[in-house]
Structure 1
Amino acid sequence: MTAPRPVATLVLDGRTLTCCAVAEAVGGPVSVRVDDAALVRIEASHSAAVAAVERRPVYGRSTGVGANKGVSVDDWPDYAVGLLRSHATSAGELRTPDRVRAMLLVRLNQLAAGGSGISPAAVAALAAMINADALPRVREFSGIGTGDLSALATTALGLLGEAPLPRELPPVRFGVHDALPFLSSNAATLADVALAGHRLQTLARAAITVATLTAVAVDANLEAFSPAVADRLPGDGGTEVCASVTRLCEPAPPVAVRIQDAFALRCLPQVHGSVLDTLGQLEALGDFHLNQAAENPLILALGPDQEAGEEVVHHGLFHLPGVALACDAAAVAVAQSVPLLLGRLAMLNDPLMTGLAPFLGAGRAGASGVMLLEFVAGSSLAVLRSAAVPASLGTVSISRGAEDDASFASRAAVQLFEACDAYSIALACELVAAVRAVRMRGLKVPSDGWGSALAVCAGLPDDLSDRDLTEDVALAQTLLPALAEVAVGRVVSP
């Protein structure tokens, strides 16, 4: 029996949560605690909300929502529950546990930032839900990039005891200052950004190691990765590619076999560097939004030296066109890098490049070898291109025109998940072929550098006969995280 993984308590302060921390935490049950200073901010914002509704109209507290913003509401206890019930409408497949855990984690951290006006009791109930791993049933179609209303309404109904949860929780009452503030967030979208973006970064670094094995197999001209090239690249990504390939290939052959290689290798720093830079920009933007109070309205407790005790700001901070654009850019960057991968597969299949049999076949004339890996990788490229169609170009006008634009950041983030799976398959195809080619050439394997990468791949079968390579590709996919570690210079046990 597998022992349960130890769960460290993650302290949320509304200030320092990162996409990386979210991705690393949600593979299983999560233990959380809200920082004491954050609890003070939450209480102050709630007190300010209570005072504000006595002084002025406040959207979603003394009024309806959407096009009903001008409608005064008096029966708030009943209206608040009705708001949650109506906004829980959704459709599609259920989201996976890691995505739901990530959403809950992000939402709790946003509330810890202070500014929602929500009650401390509602915050405590959400923390209890996370600690109990009582995950709500969140469906795929639930937002258009202006707030993940359905996903969060479903979560709130679970806390109220009205929606099914895998384990029972003490029900909490949502008051006038809890219903809309709980919903007013893009937590599900940002959770997807954190998870998909983190996985793509891992795959993108694994791609450096995989491409290096191809470079070794075809005796690549390493001048394309020299310091002279690295110094003339615009971002950190290309510099990282050059440094990693150079380190993994040390010592470089004294004389290059070819004066220069095809773009698939020669332009790897430029193309793949752009992938790394774009993914880094997405991560930075995600880290920013994870720690923002973006609920509408924003309710802030002012200091004692200011004229009023609270400030109410109605706004559009929940609108995330920048996140949508960053997700689209990441999907496009990954998609436009895979034609180079196909070019490297073509090199590995070419006897003029490797000195080996066509398609790395062995045992008989006309052997197909790894021929079909190009087909599988090409199929994955089609999926990547579909996932790279910019979601940010779409918009809708809803709620009788009161909400007349949509960023579709939610859809852009989901497309990153589609890109992850397809990219992983393409990389696995190149890896299977590159490892076979290196082995067939009988090269002297160094103890470190690309030898470390080959050691990670020791479990890949060395049967060269014509056979079904489906399981080889599946196994290669599982090796990619370790190869990402090799790319950044970490020692990995085979």
Structure 2
Amino acid sequence: MNKVIITGNDLTIEDIVKVSRDYYQVELSDEAIKNVEKSRYLVDKLVQEEKIVYGITTGFGKFSDVTISKEETKMLQRNLIISHACGVGNCFPEDIVRAIMLLRINALSKGNSGVRLQTLNTLIQMLNKRVHPIIPEKGSLGSSGDLAPLSHMVLVMIGEGEAMYEGERLSGKEALQRAGISPIDLTSKEGLALINGTQAMTAVGALTVYDAINLSKIADIAASLTMEALNGIVTAFDEKVHRVRPHKGQINTAKNMLRILQGSNMTTEQGQIRVQDAYVLRCIPQIHGASKDAIEYVKEKINIEINSATDNPLIFPDESQIISGGNFHGQPMALSFDFLGIAIAELANVSERRLERLVNPALSNLPAFLTQNGGINSGFMIVQYSAASLVSENKVLAHPASVDSIPSSANQEDHVSMGTIAARKAREILENTRSVIAMEILAACQAIDLAGNKGLGEGSKIAYEIVRKHTDTIKDDIVMYKEINKCEEIVRSNMLVKEIEKVIGTLN
């Protein structure tokens, strides 16, 4: 059985994908079990001694000055969950819900949160048995963590709320019962430990970064096909050019382009047809590379966040200390996800401009709108319209969420991150960008056919052949959205990258 061992310290984005999309099982390491039990011992001791500690023997937020007796701690934790489950809007898809659950398990397993092992095991059982809570997308300020979405996750743990199980939407109680899982009664600190963290925004962001890395490689493949259709000049990708401005993403993109186009009879050298290309061809390494560097930066931040303790207060059992801090604040992720959205949007921006060069006869030697019988046929005219629409929408979505803050909890929580909004926007930008790049690939293959395929590069030939297995050269107008959807599914499957890497090695 495929599984991921949870330690709290070494989860990777690849692990998240394995669990959230490939249904790997999760299991706590022995060290994680010891850490959880050790921190819980300290919480129980403080409750028994009736020490005043935020969130354990006090209320929350503005109510932090209200003392709670040990007899009331169970009611306090239950009330916290049911009152904080205020999410609205569409529900997160299954892979994101699974990622949220996994990240919360990993954070709690560090032993700084004070939950009982029994409680943590309930969440693990739900994940392994595929009981997926219904979690609305909207309602989080991203500080004090993702309170609303995580509360919907915990509702199911206590037999409330709703969940998907074996394809049915059920009450939380019914879903647990069918899966053979007993609901839990939360006790001191547990409700707060389960919902006070950045796991919703980070789950969305982690899967988006993973997909963005793959999409950035596909953007290079799309650009290569367009280069061939337009007899682009490969001299601009010469290693010497990029060695004297050594941004990693730029260097890697130039290498990708040369490897994908190796052996092409369609590309040209400097001065062969023209002295230089327009920026969207000549500057592919600089434009794509900058986005890749930004994506890599966000990946580094996510790798820190997914192995962090982000609730409050934090338990330090070795020092017998509980400290109230602010690790729940989503600002490190909010800024990162705004950056991520901008980086992905630029891949669409330049892709649409390449598409324009393919369809505009004033910018190429190709037939107008890539159709031989223009006038009676519109060809790819409205494909470019659609791409332009998505690019424009991305520009609206790329406005940063992190520059906004609305105080909450009677101004006790007077600066919030809006990080979950930033993550969701980045995800939406990614979906739009995937469509735009699919449109460019479809148009580039059409353009290659119209220009006369004189022999493509080692990598671009593979991409072209895959596209042509699923689509035909368009001679007379057809229902275009079906062709776009076919090409988008090819992009979504990451088939192009996988097949090309088998021949030319790993793309960067």
TM-score normalized by structure 1?
Answer: 0.92
Q: How big is the shift at 1:12?
A: 1.3
Q: 1:491 to 1:341 in 2, by over 3 A?
A: same
Matching residue of 2:79:
82
Tell me the distance in 1 between the aligned counterparts of 2:55 and 2:262: 63
Matching residue of 1:131:
128
Matching residue of 1:16:
10
Matching residue of 1:58:
53
Equivalent of 2:65 in 46, 60, 70 = 70
Matching residue of 2:197:
185
Equivalent of 2:484 in 459, 470, 473 = 473
Tell me the distance in 1 between the aligned counterparts of 2:218 and 2:283: 17
Tell me the distance in 1 between the aligned counterparts of 2:64 and 2:283: 55
Moved more, 125-134 or 477-486: 477-486
Q: How big is the shift at 1:89?
A: 2.1
Confirm whether residue 38 of structure 1 aligns to residue 32 of structure 2: yes
Asked whether the 8 Å contact 2:219–2:347 carries over to 1, the reply is: no
Confirm whether residue 326 of structure 1 aligns to residue 336 of structure 2: yes
Tell me the distance in 2 between the aligned counterparts of 1:94 and 1:291: 25
Asked whether the 8 Å contact 1:203–1:484 carries over to 2, the reply is: no
Q: How big is the shift at 1:335?
A: 2.2
Equivalent of 2:496 in 474, 483, 494 = 483
Task: For residue 393 of structure 1, give the secondary structure of its aligned residue in structure 2.
Answer: coil
In the alignment, residue 17 of structure 2 is paired with which amino acid?
A
Pairwise mapping of residues 295-444 of structure 1 onto structure 2 (< 5 A)?
A: 295-302=311-318, 309-351=319-361, 354-363=364-373, 367-444=377-454
Task: For residue 458 of structure 2, give the secondary structure of its aligned residue in structure 1.
Answer: coil
Matching residue of 2:168:
none
Confirm whether residue 237 of structure 1 aligns to residue 254 of structure 2: no
Asked whether the 8 Å contact 1:119–1:177 carries over to 2, the reply is: no
In the alignment, residue 228 of structure 2 is paired with which amino acid?
V
Q: 1:157 to 1:341 in 2, by over 3 A?
A: closer
Asked whether the 8 Å contact 2:5–2:26 carries over to 1, the reply is: yes
Q: 1:138 to 1:339 in 2, by over 3 A?
A: closer
Tell me the distance in 1 between the aligned counterparts of 2:371 and 2:276: 26
Matching residue of 2:304:
288
Task: For residue 294 of structure 1, give the secondary structure of its aligned residue in structure 2.
Answer: coil
Matching residue of 2:157:
159
* Count of residue correspondences: 480
Tell me the distance in 2 between the aligned counterparts of 1:394 and 1:351: 44
Question: Could you report, residue by residue, the CA deviation over 1:55-96 in whole angstroms, capped at 9, with x for unpaired residues?
Answer: 742111011110011110011122221111111122212221
Q: 1:24 to 1:445 in 2, by over 3 A?
A: farther
Matching residue of 2:169:
none
Tell me the distance in 1 between the aligned counterparts of 2:30 and 2:81: 29
Asked whether the 8 Å contact 1:220–1:257 carries over to 2, the reply is: no
In the alignment, residue 102 of structure 2 is paired with which amino acid?
L
Tell me the distance in 2 between the aligned counterparts of 1:341 and 1:155: 39
Structure 1 unpaired stretches of 5+: 1-6, 303-308
Q: How big is the shift at 1:250?
A: 1.5
Q: How big is the shift at 1:48?
A: 2.1
Q: How big is the shift at 1:315?
A: 0.6
Q: 1:162 to 1:466 in 2, by over 3 A?
A: closer
Q: 1:79 to 1:277 in 2, by over 3 A?
A: same
Q: How big is the shift at 1:447?
A: 7.5
Alpha-carbon RMSD = 2.0
Pairwise mapping of residues 223-234 of structure 1 onto structure 2 (< 5 A)?
A: 223-234=235-246
Task: For residue 140 of structure 1, give the secondary structure of its aligned residue in structure 2.
Answer: strand
In the alignment, residue 126 of structure 1 is paired with which amino acid?
L
Tell me the distance in 1 between the aligned counterparts of 2:321 and 2:219: 50
Moved more, 243-252 or 21-30: 21-30
In the alignment, residue 47 of structure 1 is paired with which amino acid?
Y
Asked whether the 8 Å contact 1:26–1:101 carries over to 2, the reply is: yes
Question: Could you report, residue by residue, the CA deviation over 1:270-325 in whole angstroms, capped at 9, with x for unpaired residues?
Answer: 111111111111111111100011221110121xxxxxx51211111111212111
Task: For residue 223 of structure 1, give the secondary structure of its aligned residue in structure 2.
Answer: helix
Tell me the distance in 1 between the aligned counterparts of 2:388 and 2:354: 12
Asked whether the 8 Å contact 1:263–1:340 carries over to 2, the reply is: no
Matching residue of 1:450:
460
Pairwise mapping of residues 84-233 of structure 1 onto structure 2 (< 5 A)?
A: 84-146=81-143, 147-165=145-163, 166=165, 167-168=175-176, 169-233=181-245
Question: Could you report, residue by residue, the CA deviation over 1:346-391 in whole angstroms, capped at 9, with x for unpaired residues?
Answer: 2212446553322211246664221111101101102211210100
Task: For residue 335 of structure 1, give the secondary structure of its aligned residue in structure 2.
Answer: helix
Q: How big is the shift at 1:463?
A: 2.7
Asked whether the 8 Å contact 2:86–2:139 carries over to 1, the reply is: yes
Moved more, 48-57 or 18-27: 48-57
Matching residue of 1:305:
none
Moved more, 402-411 or 249-258: 249-258
Asked whether the 8 Å contact 1:185–1:318 carries over to 2, the reply is: yes
Tell me the distance in 1 between the aligned counterparts of 2:498 and 2:269: 28
Task: For residue 391 of structure 1, give the secondary structure of its aligned residue in structure 2.
Answer: coil
